[in-house]
Amino acid sequence: MMKKVFGRPQSMKKNIFHYCAGCGHSIAHRLIAEVIDELDIRGITIGVPPAGCAVLAYNYFDIDMIEAQHGRGPATATGIKRILPDRVVFSYQGDGDLAAIGIAESFHAANRGENITVVFMNNAVYGMTGGQMAPTSIMGQKTTTSPAGRNNVLDGYPIQVSEIFSLLPGTAYIERCTVNSPASILKTRKAIRKAFQYQIDGLGFSLIEILSPCPTNWKMTPIESCRWIDEVMSKSFPLGVIKDLPAAAKGEQKKGGPRHDG
Amino acid sequence: MMVKTIFSGFGGQGVLMMGYSLAHGAMSAGYHVTFLPAYGAEVRGGTANCTVAVSDDEIASPIASEPNNIVVLNTPSLYAFQNRVAPGGALFLNSSIIAVESSRHDVRIFKIPSSEMAEKLGNPRTANTVMMGAFLKITGLVPPDIYLSSMATVMGSKKKSVIEINRKAFAAGHEFLKIAE
Amino acid sequence: MNKVLMQGNKIIGEAAIRAGCRFYAGYPITPQNEIPEYMAERLREVEGGVFIQSESEVAAIHMVIGASAAGARSMTSSSSPGISLKQEGISSLAACELPAVIVNMMRGGPGLGNISPSQGDYFQATRGGGHGDYRIIVLGPDSAQELADLTMDAFDLADRYRTPVMILADGMMGQMMEPVIFKTPKPRAYPESFIMKGAGAGKSKIIRGLILDPLDMEEHNWTLDRKYQVIARKETRHELFKADDAELILVAYGTGARIAKGAIKRLREQGLRAGLFRPITLWPFPTNELRDLAKKIENFLVFEMSTGQMVEDVRLAIQGRARIGFHGRPGGVVPTPVELTNVVMRKYDRKEGIIDHY
Ligand SMILES: Cc1ncc(C[n+]2csc(CCOP(=O)(O)OP(=O)(O)O)c2C)c(N)n1
Ligand code: SF4
Ligand SMILES: [Mg+2]
């Protein structure tokens, strides 16, 4: 008998993605579904998709999902999680959704340390509405609403959501990843898994930022897009673990042993 | 029977407490009641007032166009409300603080030096209860024993000694007008 | 059960708790701060209670959406400016057919306005309020007892029709104390199948308002509309006060109705047979009941603490069958019964009827 090495995760429906070729959303969806399968939490997971290109995420995930208005995902997720604390609740948000219209809901959910997970798809544009400037568009980036390139005088600076949120005592785990290569995809999967595991363990708010290619609005081929993330975008948004409170605490315990503070 | 009363004074003089305890007492005595405090911006700048309606019938409006009584603990309140009292109604003044005369001649006026009386009893904060003693003496709206038990109820978790001094203050106000009349 | 003397805002809180409300999110705004304060206290005491002081009214209503979907009886409250912010979520609740109770303790507006009692949000409330083709049930209590009763009813109605229900009152209703008896609430009858809990071993569920195909969306609109028509047929409520022998009917709701009742007593003392028609459900508006009254009464005078909003529903109901006058005091002014009495005397001529034909 042949061993199956690749198949559709159980937490995905048999629908074909509507996303553009080379789009990061479909990769991120799949990774989340794989993690849900792996942790065997399909039956207790509730997802909150955003307004944005991923608005139809519930057509792909075979889990309970409730749509949120633009930016309000973390508020809706808060309501669900507080009523059903033993469920795994995640909101899935774009950069416009999280860092512009929903910055208050996101920031405060993080600050309250809601025990939820946010998957933050940073593609440096408003994908769904046609490539307008996002709060995370990088300096000089040309978009339909920054035709001369993002200019700090007119437009301010790209918001480093992960770094800022990591300053909030309520956040437990924040990592910035990308999905532009097999290696980075595997890393992202691990990060998502850790975030969900932390939530299951009751450790608090986690956010996985994913630098996500949007070839359509970047006006690049998928391959150029992947390269652009490496060569340009990740210079403004450095990859890596930005905060891992539980791991830090564990490390401290191991390293320090009993403390003698003078 | 329908009796509406406005209580007014500085914030901190216990004006809302007077209204609340009267409403509670009247409810306990079997009447229909409403208690309407002025709130928010109206009470910024240090004044407080409330309207209490007591009736043996359902109360249509909790607002007093022409209150039967007003109880005022400071001078600005006298100016604010004296013209609203219905002719033949009653005006209760804290004469320790209000030195001016009312411009009304068609109402009964009762002057009670309640701040001084409260001071003498050892607790200046009971001036409002002194007024209530006098007020209920004249209006007879609620029997004293019912009122006093309502007062204790609405004071809630306050210490026994506080309740006790308020009982004394009430008695003093109640006695005062008998002597004066 | 005992009669207690309680402030309107707290009555709403207590009635909600007794009705089984276990989730409240809100943002402070005068004159309704006692509601979140009361809920913060009480939701600590009851099992499974959740209170969140949210970062904004927008966040609060979206938290309510989540909690409602997750199966909790949920409530939020605010006053006019905050209710404007909640409209996005109220529209979502209607679209997704989720139950929730929203309290609006109206204050003077537009804009920041002031914090005094007002009735300027009638249009917003009774026309749905947010974007899209929907209505919400709007209840207009005029006493402490009704604040208690209608709050409990609001949760039942919200569940029965899976729709947001608004308690539309004002600062005066919220601040006033009156004796109240809390009735025994009915046990909740809300099908498990509507609750989102995770798919378990079964099929996954979607709750959404996004329906991209216009024909499907149209069908959803008509489905909602049919529901609204059932609500209009079954849930309309009103009160008649001294209307039996009346030759003039005042139409007013909430605080306005209390003032009107006071005025009617005075008018009757002066020999004028005035009565009151008081809509209790502002949506659905008691259109037929008012129209029936117009068959025998020729003179109506609408009184609102606004420049005239409900008066349009009165005109729609009466359809020219009677004369309709209007008296309004917007901006947070609460007129006395004497003022309204004088207005009626001035506008009403025994021979001519209502003179200012509005
Ligand atoms: C209140 C509101 N304003 C605007 C929109 C329109 N809108 C939908 S998605 C979107 C931007 C999405 O951008 P982002 O969050 O970055 O997600 P992406 O599509 O890039 O994944 C906007 C502006 C909306 N749905 N609701
Ligand atoms: S527009 Fe961009 S983000 Fe949206 S589906 Fe296409 S590639 Fe993905
Ligand atoms: Mg984007």
If one counts every other C-beta atom within 10 angstroms of the C-beta of residue A111, the result is: 16
Structural domains for chain C: 4-234 (3.40.50.970), 240-354 (3.40.50.920)
What secondary structure does DSSP assign to C78-111, as a single string?
Answer: E-HHHHHHHHHHHHHHHHHT--EEEEEEEBS-ST
Residues of C with CB under 8 A from a CB of A: 22-23, 25, 48, 50, 52, 54-56, 58-60, 62-72, 74, 88-89, 92, 96, 196-201, 204-210
Give Dmax over CA atoms of chain A in angstroms: 65
Confidence of residue B41 (pLDDT cuts 50, 70, 90): low
Cβ contact C196–A66 (<8 Å): yes
The per-residue pLDDT for range C77-88, each reduced to its tens digit, is 999 999 999 999
Higher pLDDT, C152 or B10: C152
Question: How far apart are alpha carbons C265 and B71 in whole angstroms?
Answer: 26
Question: How far apart are alpha carbons C199 and A13 in whole angstroms?
Answer: 13
Residue B156: predicted pLDDT:
85
C265 touches chain B (CB under 8 A): yes
What φ, ψ does residue A89 adopt, rounded to 5°? -120, 130
What's A137's DSSP letter? P
% of residues, chain C, pLDDT over 90: 96
The average pLDDT across C288-302 equals: 97
CA angle (A178, A135, C62) in 5-degree steps: 95
Cβ contact C209–A58 (<8 Å): no
Whose C-alpha lies nearest to ligand 1, atom 12? A52
Which pTM was predicted?
A: 0.91
Q: Which of A16, A18, A25, A179 to mutate to test the pocket of ligand 2 (most atoms within 8 A of CB)?
A: A25
Higher pLDDT, C2 or C310: C310
Query: What is the Rg, in whole angstroms, of the alpha carbon atoms belonging to chain A?
Result: 18
Question: How far apart are alpha carbons B114 and C350 in whole angstroms?
Answer: 52
A65 touches chain C (CB under 8 A): yes
Cβ contact A67–C207 (<8 Å): yes
Is the beta carbon of A63 within 6 A of some atom in ligand 2? no
Residue A2: predicted pLDDT:
77
C195 touches chain B (CB under 8 A): no
Nearest by CB to C262, which of B27, B37, B61? B61
What lies within 8 Å, CB to CB, of C139 at 6+ separation is C150, C153, C154, C165, C166, C167, C168, C280, C281, C282
What φ, ψ does residue C151 adopt, rounded to 5°? -65, -45
Confidence of residue B158 (pLDDT cuts 50, 70, 90): confident
Chains A and C touch (3+ CB pairs under 8 A): yes
Question: How far apart are alpha carbons B11 and B103 in whole angstroms?
Answer: 24
CA angle (A156, A226, A127) in 5-degree steps: 50
Number of H helices, E strands in chain C: 12, 17
Q: Is the dihedral of CA A171, A177, A179, A183 positive or negative?
A: negative
The per-residue pLDDT for range B124-149, each reduced to its tens digit, is 999 999 999 999 999 999 999 999 99
Cβ contact B39–C115 (<8 Å): yes
Residue A259: predicted pLDDT:
47
By CA distance, what is C95's nearest residue in A?
A67
For the record, the structure tokens of A179 come out as: 């999905």
By CA distance, what is C207's nearest residue in A?
A66
Q: Please, which residues bridge with residue A31 across strands?
A: none
Cβ contact B63–C175 (<8 Å): no
The average pLDDT across C49-55 equals: 96
**Closest by CA position to A78, among listed A89, A64, A87, A86:** A89
**CA-based end-to-end distance of chain A:** 65
Instruction: Please give the helix or strand (H or E) that residue C24 lies within, else none.
Output: strand C21-26
Confidence of residue B44 (pLDDT cuts 50, 70, 90): low
Residue C358: predicted pLDDT:
52
Cβ contact A67–C96 (<8 Å): yes
pLDDT value at C60 more than 60 = yes
Give the residue extent of every domain in chain B: 2-180
Residues of chain A falling short of pLDDT 50: 257-262
Considering only CB atoms, which chain C residues are within 8 Å of A82?
A: 23, 50, 52, 63, 66-67
For chain C, give the mean pLDDT: 96
The per-residue pLDDT for range C125-157, each reduced to its tens digit, is 999 999 999 999 999 999 999 999 999 999 999
pLDDT value at C26 more than 60 = yes
The per-residue pLDDT for range C253-266, each reduced to its tens digit, is 999 999 999 999 99
Subunits with 3+ Cβ pairs within 8 Å of B are C
Residue A262: predicted pLDDT:
37
Tell me if A205 sits within 8 A of A170, measured CB to CB: yes
Ligand 1: centre distance to CA A107 (Å): 18
Work out the minimum CA distance from C246 to partner chain A, whole angstroms. 50
Cβ contact C207–A87 (<8 Å): no
Nearest by CB to A79, which of C58, C66, C207? C66
List pocket residues of ligand 1, CB cut-off 6 Å: A 51-54, 70, 94-97, 121, 123, 125-129, 134
By CA distance, what is C258's nearest residue in B?
B61
Specify the range with the lowest mean pLDDT, choosing from A156-165, B36-45, C32-41: B36-45
Is the domain covering B2-180 a CATH 3.40.920.10 domain?
yes
C175 touches chain B (CB under 8 A): yes
Q: How much is the ipTM here?
A: 0.89
The per-residue pLDDT for range C7-20, each reduced to its tens digit, is 999 999 999 999 99
Question: How far apart are alpha carbons C332 and C305 in whole angstroms?
Answer: 7
The average pLDDT across C56-82 equals: 98
The average pLDDT across C100-106 equals: 98
Considering only CB atoms, which chain B residues are within 8 Å of C28?
A: none
What lies within 8 Å, CB to CB, of C47 at 6+ separation is none
The average pLDDT across B70-75 equals: 96
The average pLDDT across B15-19 equals: 95
Structural domains for chain A: 25-253 (3.40.50.970)
